[in-house]
Structure 1
Amino acid sequence: MHLYGTQTVNGKGHLTIGGVDTVDLAHTYGTPLVVYDIALFRERAQAFKETFNNVGVRAQVAYASKAFSSIAIYEIANQEGLSLDVVSGGELHTAVVAGFPRERIHFHGNNKSFTELQYAFDEKIGCIVIDNFSEIALVKEIAESRQEKMNVLIRVTPGVEASTHDYITTGQEDSKFGFDLKNGQTDKAFRQLHDHPYIKLLGMHCHIGSQIFETDAFRLAAEALMEKMIVWRDDYEFVCEVLNLGGGFGIRYTEEDQPLNPSAYVEEMAEVVLSLTRTHNYPLPEIWIEPGRSLVGDAGTSLYTVGSMKEVPGVRTYIAVDGGMSDNIRPALYGAKYTAVTANRMDESHEKQVTIAGKCCESGDKLIEEAHLVEPAEGDIIAMFCTGAYGYSMASNYNRLPKPAVVFCENGHHQLVVRRETYEDVVRLDIPLQSVEQLEKI
């Protein structure tokens, strides 16, 4: 079996993460529980930064925090010198509460509200990534009314189609995101922004998708944006200071996945940019990237406790756990595949094929259809690997299930960073129905 990061098996035959026994974690905090290997997060962050240093390119590595957003992970990102990509007022507020340096916050999103944009100006964040013409008008209105400057990037769709799931492909022409590079939208946006007195256009941004394993699409995207930047230099004497090539670097969820080392993506993109700047005598821009999944995806492991079991003779064995699509919607949403182990019996043979079902009242609530575990027993602790990205961040209270707790582990220590929801939390925003008499008094 493939273990990730600091995962090992201790003398009790238990899976450990960050030097901490996962069975002890399950007993201490309960299940479902999301456990993060913080040493792995730090290792990945430093690897991206070191690769840029090695190729001699100025860069910002921004954690794409929609993958997993919390005060504690923002604090870790800041400790590692990362920038931060937020996509909503809620994520921005989390960054503010975490004390994240505002100048390293980049605000994305295809439908930022007027209130959200005002908040970005209030906090004097580092950059707004402008997604559409409506947003240009809103940013101009706020900047002019306040007479305050704001750095911006133009998000473009370069017409590059990456090999990934349709739901997480974002760089093709038919996308809800950004200005089309080929039909003149990007040039129109540029003309509206580049000489505005309160808007400093830093350059361009693209993001071609997620869970991408090859480098060809990243090279094509870099080439397309660099070519447009050269045109703007030649036609308008405008030089882009920043080229943001997004994220989307794939990770290993199952043995079928063959991701590249994160440095390979950086090296390929940098090679394209360096070559074109030399050929066209263009000042080398600062390159920004936005890894999310590749920082937290395989750093996260979900722990569940086995409950009921059901044998369908000649078909399959179901084992039900105390979580499911409420804490990880990805298998039901787009058929995402995972691997799992029996965390409390790691030294036993994992040859029993089972379907791990969740407890939500949906037939489609299956976390893994063909998991290979130890012959299951009620009370076993199941560890499902690589759940650190888009698990907790997409969690819901479907069936009024409380969201799980989140724990960070590192160097033998563990720390609760998101508490488990209670039933009281689930009903906290509900308002009881008022009687007619009460309504008449309003």
Structure 2
Amino acid sequence: MRGTQTISASGHLVIGGVDTVELAREYGTPLYVYDTALIKERINQYKEAFAAYNGMDWQVAYASKAFSTIAILQLVNEFGLSLDVVSGGELYTALKAGFPAGRIHFHGNNKSDDELILALDANIGNVIVDNFYELERLEDLCAAKGREMEILLRVTPGVEAHTHEFIMTGHDDTKFGFNLDNGMADQAVQLALKAPHLILKGIHCHIGSQIFETEGFVRAIRVIFSYAEKWKRSFDFSMQVLNVGGGFGIRYTEEDHPLPVKNYIDSIVAVVTEECKARALSVPAVWIEPGRSIVGESGTTLYTVGALKDIPGIRKYVSVDGGMADNIRPALYQAHYEALCASRANEPADQSVAIAGKCCENGDVLIKKANLPESCRAGDILAVLCTGAYGYSMASHYNRLPNPAVVFVENGESQLVVRRESYDDLIRMDQPLKMFSSHE
């Protein structure tokens, strides 16, 4: 059990004081369920870790790509966090949620002019500039509007985090950022300092995701400070902000062993302080961008069990009414999850099965080896745990499946925060065919 998960007297999984079988009955399945008490607890862990350092300037920005809806952004705003967005759509959602524009940071390796104009018109806090093209375009757009914009430069420190290759972003061969070791970052700093309408505040890096150690962050920070010392000496540039990104790991299965939040923050602050003292540099504000680690473990996806297929001597398949359309991670990069039969949570999980999705793809298998009760049958409710990050946000309409609803639960109450799509929603943007010409 995680967060506020318990088992009721009737043997049902209970989250936030709400029976999951009742949730499935009321809202249908598939259904994303978020334990908001756990989200709040994790946010406070980050804030408390930084608050221990008196005089340290810091920001925690929620990386909204992990899960972006009006409701979650309003919740994050209540706790005073900043916000990381990576598209016009995420920025638009934040503005509609009433998120203070001055606390929004805009990421992305290929921001369009329309997206940058939206950011400028909203007067967001800063733009994390990713490449020379964007640096030039942002300066031109600012000049046209007669205004300035604070920026950070994203750099690649050449550090490879111990994670899946698809979510490694700090090494040299990546689409993100200015390389440090080939002079690109030096050139970017010079150009940014000369740009009349851009205010270079600092440096950003992100070395990857689902990281279970602190060594990668420490190495990346040391590399950046070696360049910061040179930039101070050569260009009179003082780094006021160091944003070390996110990537803090969570526990998906018993094989995952993430560190406590405090350990990550302590290591980051310690190496920043040490490097500044050794190089006679001012201590910059330290920013981080957790996303997965704030919402990941709080989310549970509920499914209804359907067809069962037993292949003697090979495998037993338990099919559910969702799959890769609502959770692409297992198919995309072999992500692992744990599951339990929410309607029989008090029964021994004594059989090994594969949890199969309903998409027309042989690779649509959510969990290759899950332990469920022998009594599990069609109509039971299945819970896949720790789906709070990159489930809803990466959901698709593959096979024309409607997106599931999203429910927040806490203190025995539930609230619908995203309604389930209907078939009419699926075709709402479709236009009927009009013949361009007739042919006999």
TM-score bin (small chain)? over 0.9
Instruction: Note the C-alpha offset of 1:436.
Output: 5.4
Within a 5 Å distance, the mapping from 1:93-108 to structure 2 comes to 93-108=92-107
Partner of 2:16: 18
Partner of 2:328: 329
d(CA) in 2 for partners of 1:191 and 1:438?
60
1:40 to 24, 38, 41: 38
Partner of 1:380: 380
**Does structure 1 residue 50 correspond to structure 2 residue 48?**
yes
d(CA) in 2 for partners of 1:304 and 1:170?
33
Give SS of 1:201's match.
strand
Instruction: Note the C-alpha offset of 1:181.
Output: 0.8
**Does structure 1 residue 31 correspond to structure 2 residue 29?**
yes
Within a 5 Å distance, the mapping from 1:287-302 to structure 2 comes to 287-302=286-301
Counterpart amino acid of residue 156 in structure 1: V
Partner of 2:409: 409
Within a 5 Å distance, the mapping from 1:163-312 to structure 2 comes to 163-312=162-311
Could you list the per-position Cα deviations for residues 114-156 of structure 1 after superposition, in whole angstroms to 9, with x for gaps in the alignment?
Answer: 1100110000000100000000011010111111010100000
d(CA) in 1 for partners of 2:292 and 2:27?
25
d(CA) in 1 for partners of 2:260 and 2:158?
25
Could you list the per-position Cα deviations for residues 87-118 of structure 1 after superposition, in whole angstroms to 9, with x for gaps in the alignment?
Answer: 00000000010010001000000000011001
**Does structure 1 residue 80 correspond to structure 2 residue 75?**
no
Give SS of 1:331's match.
helix
d(CA) in 2 for partners of 1:334 and 1:73?
26
1:5 to 3, 6, 10: 3
Partner of 1:60: 59
d(CA) in 2 for partners of 1:319 and 1:373?
10
Instruction: Note the C-alpha offset of 1:49.
Output: 1.2
Instruction: Note the C-alpha offset of 1:157.
Output: 0.3
Instruction: Note the C-alpha offset of 1:11.
Output: 1.7
Whether the 8 Å contact between 1:159 and 1:171 is mirrored in structure 2 is: yes
Structure 1 segments of 4 or more deviating over 6 A?
A: none
d(CA) in 2 for partners of 1:243 and 1:435?
57
Instruction: Note the C-alpha offset of 1:46.
Output: 1.1
Partner of 1:125: 124
d(CA) in 1 for partners of 2:195 and 2:76?
33
Partner of 2:114: 115
Could you list the per-position Cα deviations for residues 64-91 of structure 1 after superposition, in whole angstroms to 9, with x for gaps in the alignment?
Answer: 0101110001001100111000000000
Whether the 8 Å contact between 2:139 and 2:196 is mirrored in structure 1 is: no
**Does structure 1 residue 162 correspond to structure 2 residue 161?**
yes
Partner of 2:421: 421
Give SS of 2:282's match.
coil
d(CA) in 1 for partners of 2:360 and 2:113?
38
Whether the 8 Å contact between 2:33 and 2:300 is mirrored in structure 1 is: yes
Whether the 8 Å contact between 2:326 and 2:404 is mirrored in structure 1 is: yes
Give SS of 2:432's match.
coil
Counterpart amino acid of residue 393 in structure 1: S
Whether the 8 Å contact between 2:190 and 2:235 is mirrored in structure 1 is: no
d(CA) in 2 for partners of 1:81 and 1:43?
14
Whether the 8 Å contact between 1:55 and 1:267 is mirrored in structure 2 is: no
Instruction: Note the C-alpha offset of 1:236.
Output: 2.2
Instruction: Note the C-alpha offset of 1:438.
Output: 9.8
Length-normalised TM-score, structure 2: 0.98
Change in CA separation of 1:436 and 1:198 when aligned onto 2, cut-off 3 Å: closer
d(CA) in 1 for partners of 2:116 and 2:281?
32
d(CA) in 2 for partners of 1:238 and 1:132?
19
d(CA) in 2 for partners of 1:324 and 1:196?
48
Instruction: Note the C-alpha offset of 1:437.
Output: 7.2
Give SS of 1:344's match.
helix
d(CA) in 2 for partners of 1:61 and 1:6?
24
* Stretches of structure 1 lacking an aligned partner (at least 5 in a row): none
Give SS of 2:42's match.
helix
Counterpart amino acid of residue 371 in structure 1: A
**Does structure 1 residue 346 correspond to structure 2 residue 345?**
yes
Paired-residue identity, %: 56
Counterpart amino acid of residue 42 in structure 1: K
Give SS of 1:320's match.
strand
Residue correspondences, number: 437
Greater alpha carbon shift after TM alignment, 222-231 vs 42-51: 222-231
Length-normalised TM-score, structure 1: 0.97
Give SS of 1:141's match.
helix
Whether the 8 Å contact between 1:211 and 1:248 is mirrored in structure 2 is: yes
d(CA) in 2 for partners of 1:227 and 1:125?
30
Change in CA separation of 1:240 and 1:438 when aligned onto 2, cut-off 3 Å: farther
* Stretches of structure 2 lacking an aligned partner (at least 5 in a row): none
Instruction: Note the C-alpha offset of 1:180.
Output: 0.1
Could you list the per-position Cα deviations for residues 316-340 of structure 1 after superposition, in whole angstroms to 9, with x for gaps in the alignment?
Answer: 1111100000000000111100000
d(CA) in 1 for partners of 2:424 and 2:381?
26
Give SS of 1:287's match.
strand
d(CA) in 2 for partners of 1:433 and 1:199?
47
Partner of 2:136: 137
Give SS of 2:317's match.
strand
Counterpart amino acid of residue 12 in structure 1: S
| RMSD across aligned positions (CA) | 1.2
Partner of 2:314: 315
Counterpart amino acid of residue 404 in structure 2: P
